[in-house]
Amino acid sequence: MIKKIIFFMGVFLFLMPGLSAAEVWKAPDQEKAKERAREVVPFVKEYKDDCLINRRTCLVDAGISIKDVTTVYFVLGSPVIKKREDHYEPVRFAHKRHAALTNDCSVCHHFRPKDENALETTRCSACHQDSFNPDYPERIGLKAAYHQQCMQCHQNQGKGPVDCKGCHLQNVPDHKELVKLPDGADPFQVTAECLRCHDTQADDMLTTAHWLWKGPSPYTTGHRKDIMHGKGTTALNNF
Ligand code: HEC
Ligand code: HEC
Ligand code: HEC
Ligand code: HEC
Ligand code: HEC
């Protein structure tokens, strides 16, 4: 569903003049960071719940502090999510700056694995993976875990991005190179050109409300001959 919504938002954006694919941010050690992002961590079943009430104190007692933040930034692009959806480039996350901003690791690193040898600040993807795990229904999936934690704080603090583009760079090639049309092409030719590559999206579209909507006509509601109007009934669908 989200893909469809994005596709439609995208169609409008694409049709706006002057818009081309966003420039992809690069750092010197970007490749190493991306490689790390591709790691799949074994799922952690049990977490330590004896210090949940005051996790912050727990971490301070364990001697965890900003000195343990050795990575300036991460890119987040887990294969756990990618196997399901792949709309965007990995999300860059300024870890050290965030850690310094809050000065409290527990805000994000809210639990640790039960295994004594595990890191206090184990990465999220160890515990949050698929969007629904029937054995651990209380655990939200990795994408939701990020979205909820990242956006909630940005919203509460009124700082940091809450709009999609603030975190996501789209994984979309520049269409100037892709779309091949003669001068003065008619609308049918344009649509046909898009469909050359976007046939799956076109099929998806056929099952959406955009294609199938119908509803009571305000002119006939309550009358003896109540008519349903819409693309699913009386209106014509063209391509
Ligand atoms: C505060 C940052 C942030 C914001 C704002 C945000 N996201 Fe995300 N999003 C993430 C992170 C982090 C991931 C996980 C990246 C990964 O591991 O692949 C993610 C993953 C995703 C994915 C799955 C990965 C992919 O490439 O397809 C989709 C789809 C997505 N977000 C859509 C959205 C949409 C739509 C919005 C706006 C309503 C949005 N996000 C806003 C941080 C954000
Ligand atoms: C704003 C949220 C946030 C804060 C605050 C934060 N971290 Fe993190 N940290 C993350 C995320 C997200 C990751 C996971 C990156 C990944 O999985 O690729 C991470 C990963 C780590 C890792 C790597 C773990 C591994 O297994 O490789 C360490 C170490 C770490 N954090 C230490 C700290 C310490 C110490 C603090 C407090 C001084 C801290 N973090 C504060 C969000 C945060
Ligand atoms: C050791 C395992 C573990 C790690 C590591 C972990 N979580 Fe969780 N998380 C859980 C469990 C268990 C729950 C469900 C808690 C409950 O019973 O409500 C949860 C719940 C959540 C929730 C739902 C709301 C809430 O706070 O209960 C969010 C959001 C979340 N985690 C985000 C993250 C992020 C982001 C990271 C990495 C910075 C992370 N988690 C690291 C185990 C973990
Ligand atoms: C505890 C609160 C908190 C959490 C959790 C948090 N952020 Fe932020 N974030 C902030 C604040 C505050 C700023 C504004 C910082 C500034 O203006 O210097 C910010 C800024 C940002 C920015 C814009 C600056 C930049 O680095 O380019 C991005 C992107 C971002 N956050 C991504 C994320 C992602 C991704 C996550 C989740 C993994 C996340 N944040 C979790 C508080 C948070
Ligand atoms: C030669 C192949 C090709 C043609 C022709 C083409 N596209 Fe694309 N388009 C792509 C690819 C590849 C992507 C990125 C992968 C994806 O999201 O499907 C993309 C992505 C998009 C997206 C973003 C979708 C998203 O999920 O974020 C939009 C919107 C879009 N195209 C619109 C159009 C329109 C409108 C036309 C016709 C004027 C068109 N495209 C013609 C190949 C093409």
**Cβ 166 under 6 angstroms from ligand 1:** yes
Residues 47 and 121 in one domain: yes
Residues 157 and 71 in one domain: yes
User: What's 51's domain CATH number?
Assistant: 3.90.10.10
Global pTM value: 0.78
The atom of ligand 3 lying closest to the CA of 108 is 38
- More confident of the two residues 5 and 223: 223
Q: In this structure, what token pair is assigned to residue 85?
A: 């959806």
Quote the Cα angle for 44-81-85, to 5°.
160
**Cβ 80 under 6 angstroms from ligand 4:** no
Residue 11 lies in a domain: no
**pLDDT, position 142:** 97
- The Å distance, Cα 53 to ligand 2 centre, comes to 20
Q: How many domains, the chain?
A: 2
Nearest CA to ligand 3 atom 12: 139
Q: CA 78, CA 72: separation in Å to the nearest integer?
A: 18
Structural domain for 97, as ranges: 19-167
Q: CA 230, CA 211: separation in Å to the nearest integer?
A: 9
- The Å distance, Cα 151 to ligand 1 centre, comes to 10
Q: Between the CA atoms of 183, 187, 188 and 194, what dihedral angle is there, to the nearest 10 degrees?
A: 80
**Cβ 109 under 6 angstroms from ligand 3:** yes
Q: Nearest CA to 121 among 137, 104, 138?
A: 104
Q: Nearest CA to 130 among 5, 38, 40, 2?
A: 40
pLDDT for 189 beyond 90: yes
Residues 139 and 221 in one domain: no
Among 153, 155, 168, 169, which residue has the most ligand 4 atoms within 8 Å of its CB, making it the best to mutate? Answer: 153
Name the closest ligand to CA 56: 2
Nearest CA to ligand 2 atom 20: 123
pLDDT for 17 beyond 50: no
Which of these three, 143, 167, 191, is where a domain ends?
167
Phi-psi region of 213 (alpha: psi -120 to 50; beta: other; left: phi over 0): beta
Q: What is the mean pLDDT of the chain?
A: 84
Residues 126 and 101 in one domain: yes
Residues 35 and 122 in one domain: yes
Q: CA 143, CA 114: separation in Å to the nearest integer?
A: 23
Q: CA 99, CA 95: separation in Å to the nearest integer?
A: 6
The atom of ligand 1 lying closest to the CA of 37 is 17
Flag the least confident range among 81-95, 145-159, 195-209: 195-209
pLDDT (tens digit, 9 = 90+) per residue, 209-223?
Answer: 778 888 777 777 777
Residues 134 and 201 in one domain: no
- The Å distance, Cα 143 to ligand 1 centre, comes to 7
Count CA atoms closer than 13 A to 83's CA, side-chain side. Answer: 9
**Cβ 150 under 6 angstroms from ligand 4:** yes
Question: C-alpha 157: how far from its chain's center?
Answer: 21
pLDDT (tens digit, 9 = 90+) per residue, 111-137?
Answer: 999 999 999 999 999 999 998 889 999
pLDDT for 10 beyond 50: no
Which of these three, 167, 192, 221, is where a domain ends?
167
Residues 163 and 200 in one domain: no
Q: In this structure, what token pair is assigned to residue 222?
A: 């309550």
Q: CB under 8 Å to 111, separation ≥6 — which residues?
A: 47, 48, 49, 52, 55, 127
Residues 116 and 192 in one domain: no
Residues 131 and 51 in one domain: yes
Residue bearing tokens 């959806």 = 85
